[in-house]
Structure 1
Amino acid sequence: MIRQLNSGRWNVRIKHNGKHLVSRTFDRKKDAQKWEQQQKLALASGTWTDPRAGEVTVEVYLPLWLDTKTLAASTLEGYEAAIRRHIIPVFGHRPLSSIPPSEMQSWAVNLAKTSRTAARRSLGIMRGMYRMAVADGFVARSPADYVELPSLRRGEPNPLTQDEVVRLVDATPNDRDKLMIQVLAFGGLRFGELAALGPDSIHDHGLHLTRSVQHSSQGPGVIWGDLKTHQARTVPLPSKTLAALRQRASDLAADELIFSTTTGTVISRRNWSNRVLTVACKQAGIKRITPHDLRDTAATTLLAARIPIAVVSRILGHESPATTMRHYAGVTSSDRDLVQNFLDQLG
């Protein structure tokens, strides 16, 4: 209903099923008529939201969304850092309903030019927040759903050959580090999973993984959490490697780490990579690698041996075999040989 006030302005009252929903005042009658029509169409289509709800700001609503998430401690730290660095400075003061898709697209693209990882994480946070805002009736649609990041070709895995693994182990002087390399290269563990291993992780058929640890990126200290997929798993290892782990753990207390610094603290991935792995690569005369390349080594070795993709996925702790396929979509050299032999037989 539209009525003119004594001031000459035009007031619109929106009712639905006999209940007053919202009212608004305009200087011009045609603006009042247009807004009334928009509200009625939204009510008829089931997409109506209270215009006042959209005035809630991003800074106010984001913590409410974050409280609904069950996240590993390290993931939560990353989310909070992205919110603090990339979202709040740009959108914190803005009402939820005030951000158009074009503005969010521009923000995401510009952020990706600096850090694609930060852009992907920050956009994921905004998408999640807006999904809940739509469900709560604060906004009718999410501007984040229309945003696309520039495509980036995924880097190829960078595994070692088994001969290179042997040379790398031989070039490593410390028994602790030799065994760490073997567990990473044969078991495909993430470094945080390796650093969290304790005597109770060793089982008859391999390692039973239930936790992970990493150094905080926001300051001193470490962050303990469960595994990336929140599911424990068992990782098989060569018998000699498993025996060496049992020997190393035999004199440890139940709460000690199998691999630790000289003072018994958690090993830093960055420090170990720079001070041990890089030096060993140089001594062995092989390409420089990261701990994750040793995980690639385990994966590609298993796939080249024709281990089913579902089994490899479980060993690596991927969310699904589809994830494994995406990471290791490249055909291994043995696969290429198999394909080439088949094609040669066709003439």
Structure 2
Amino acid sequence: MWIGPDGKECTKAFRIQDAAKKYARKQEEDIERGEYIDPAAGKELLQPLGRKWLRLQSVGLTSRERYEGVLRLHIEPTFGHRKVKSVKPSEVAEWLRALSKTHGHSIQSMAFHILSGMFALAVADGVRRDNPAQSDIITKPAPTDDEPREAWTGDRVWAVISAHPAEYELIPVLQAGCGLRESEAFAIGEEDLDLDAGKVVIRRQVARVRTGKRYVFKLPKGGKTRVVPLSPGVVRAVRAYIETYPPRPYALPWLDEHGQVTADEHVCKLLFRWHGDDPRTHGQHIRESSYNRQVWKPALVKAGVIPEPEKGPRGGASRKYRADRADGTHALRHYYSTTLQDAGVSLAGVMAFLGHSRNKRHIPISVRVYGHVTEETFEAARNAIDRSLFRLRPVQDHQADGTETEQAVSQ
């Protein structure tokens, strides 16, 4: 018998009295050293511990749903039925090794982050002494390809833009010219644009809530709005688009950062609508899956970025395009970042315009604390985009008399 840290009497049966006294004395010594583990605590199963860890995370609904999916699909089948104290580092290593054969770096990293967090919670609660996921024998998930992705050139960006149908052509212009995420571009409203000042406020994104399978407006990634410069070239493109496709009010439920849908719908004069043949979706907001399948990838084919889909056994085109991750719309955001940095725009400015957090410890203090974004930063970004994306290019003009003259046009 011994008295636990909570003042309650604890007992454990032994057949030999000396063994019982020795065990009780060890427990008391562990209490004095702050290393006491309740013998009954380690019998807790990992499945409820994982759910407890998930409840304690301060993340948005989208991240919470991703965590829940990885926990349910990749952690609970292997460890959910196990006692917390029974899992060994070698078993975590075997689990990671098996996961690496079937899933990419993103799933591996998230699964490892969750499992490690679960055991960290167990250690903090005094359920076990160590975190088996942090053992020296564990090789943490790492990207299989450490080579930096090649940034697109302005010519490639324009080839893809030009391959878009007219009603969607402004979407890649805003992504490449403002560094917008796809979900942010889909949610731009006319009231977000200050064309005279050359600025746009990124205050919402279109998101799909997996529970309930509905679409909502919500704050951009990170839960913060931001102001992004509009170059004169982008402003001209926006004006021309609005003249052809006048924005109209559009409403979706608003999802707050606690995962709650507000009572009132959020209304904005949405720039982009779906122009498909299906009457159920025509005129509605653009869905990421439809855009990628019916607009983006066909534009990549037309621009020569990816090959034509292979023909199926009956002569029809297969539904799956041969495109890798580097061919996604994020390439336009990468182009924007590279263009600004090559032009000497401050890192603080690039991070602010992209919506990257400066509150992380690995960010240098010169950027975190002393990096400021001024009007000069905005102007430098505008100039960088116009010089790269909207620069004058020579073209041959064929005259009626057969002669050729060279003109300069802006793309």
Report TM bin, short chain: 0.7 to 0.9
1:296-345 Cα deviation digits (max 9, x unpaired): 111111111111222111111222398899xxxxxxxxxxxxxxxxxxxx
Partner of residue 62, structure 1 = 50
- 8 A Cα contact 1:318 1:324, kept in partner: no
1:28-87 Cα deviation digits (max 9, x unpaired): 667646644542442232121322222222222222222222222221111111111112
1:213 partner amino acid: V
Q: For residues 16 and 91 of structure 1, what CA distance do their matches in structure 2 show?
A: 29
Classify 1:299/1:22 alpha carbon distance in 2 versus 1 (closer, same or farther; 3 Å). Answer: same
Cα offset, 1:180, TM superposition:
0.6
Q: Does 1:71 align with 2:59?
A: yes
1:306 partner amino acid: G
User: Aligned to 1:252, which of 244, 248, 251?
Assistant: 248
Which has a greater percent of helix?
1
Partner of residue 108, structure 1 = 96
TM-score by length of 1: 0.78
1:183-224 Cα deviation digits (max 9, x unpaired): 111111111211222233324442212332234568843354
Q: Does 1:282 align with 2:301?
A: yes
Q: For residues 287 and 5 of structure 2, what CA distance do their matches in structure 1 show?
A: 63
Classify 1:18/1:52 alpha carbon distance in 2 versus 1 (closer, same or farther; 3 Å). Answer: closer
User: Aligned to 1:132, which of 104, 116, 121?
Assistant: 121
Q: Does 1:193 align with 2:184?
A: yes
1:257 partner amino acid: L
Classify 1:18/1:167 alpha carbon distance in 2 versus 1 (closer, same or farther; 3 Å). Answer: closer
Q: For residues 46 and 230 of structure 1, what CA distance do their matches in structure 2 show?
A: 39
Cα offset, 1:91, TM superposition:
1.5
Which 10-residue stretch deviates more, 257-266 or 279-288?
Answer: 279-288
Within 5 Å, which residues of 2 pair with 1:299-310?
299-310=337-348
Which 10-residue stretch deviates more, 293-302 or 247-256?
Answer: 247-256
1:230 partner amino acid: G
Where 1:25 maps in the other structure, the secondary structure is coil
TM-score by length of 2: 0.67
User: Aligned to 2:112, which of 123, 128, 132?
Assistant: 123
Partner of residue 133, structure 2 = 144
Partner of residue 154, structure 1 = 146
User: Where does structure 2 lack aligned partners over 5 or more consecutive residues?
Assistant: 250-266, 276-281, 307-322, 365-411
Classify 1:15/1:192 alpha carbon distance in 2 versus 1 (closer, same or farther; 3 Å). Answer: same
2:220 partner amino acid: L
2:48 partner amino acid: V
Q: Does 1:265 align with 2:284?
A: yes
Partner of residue 335, structure 2 = 297
Partner of residue 158, structure 2 = 166
Partner of residue 319, structure 1 = 357
Q: For residues 213 and 28 of structure 1, what CA distance do their matches in structure 2 show?
A: 67
> Between the two proteins, what is the percent identity of the paired residues?
27
Cα offset, 1:145, TM superposition:
2.4
Partner of residue 344, structure 1 = none
Classify 1:171/1:86 alpha carbon distance in 2 versus 1 (closer, same or farther; 3 Å). Answer: closer
- 8 A Cα contact 2:247 2:269, kept in partner: no
Classify 1:207/1:54 alpha carbon distance in 2 versus 1 (closer, same or farther; 3 Å). Answer: farther
- 8 A Cα contact 1:73 1:225, kept in partner: no
1:318 partner amino acid: H
Classify 1:103/1:136 alpha carbon distance in 2 versus 1 (closer, same or farther; 3 Å). Answer: same
Q: For residues 258 and 125 of structure 1, what CA distance do their matches in structure 2 show?
A: 38
User: Where does structure 1 lack aligned partners over 5 or more consecutive residues?
Assistant: 1-12, 326-347
- 8 A Cα contact 1:257 1:264, kept in partner: no
Partner of residue 203, structure 2 = 210
Partner of residue 3, structure 1 = none
Q: For residues 41 and 174 of structure 2, what CA distance do their matches in structure 1 show?
A: 54
- 8 A Cα contact 1:192 1:213, kept in partner: yes
- 8 A Cα contact 2:175 2:185, kept in partner: yes
Cα offset, 1:155, TM superposition:
4.6
Q: For residues 28 and 228 of structure 1, what CA distance do their matches in structure 2 show?
A: 61
Please report the RMSD computed on the Cα atoms of aligned residues, expressed in angstroms: 3.0
Classify 1:17/1:130 alpha carbon distance in 2 versus 1 (closer, same or farther; 3 Å). Answer: closer
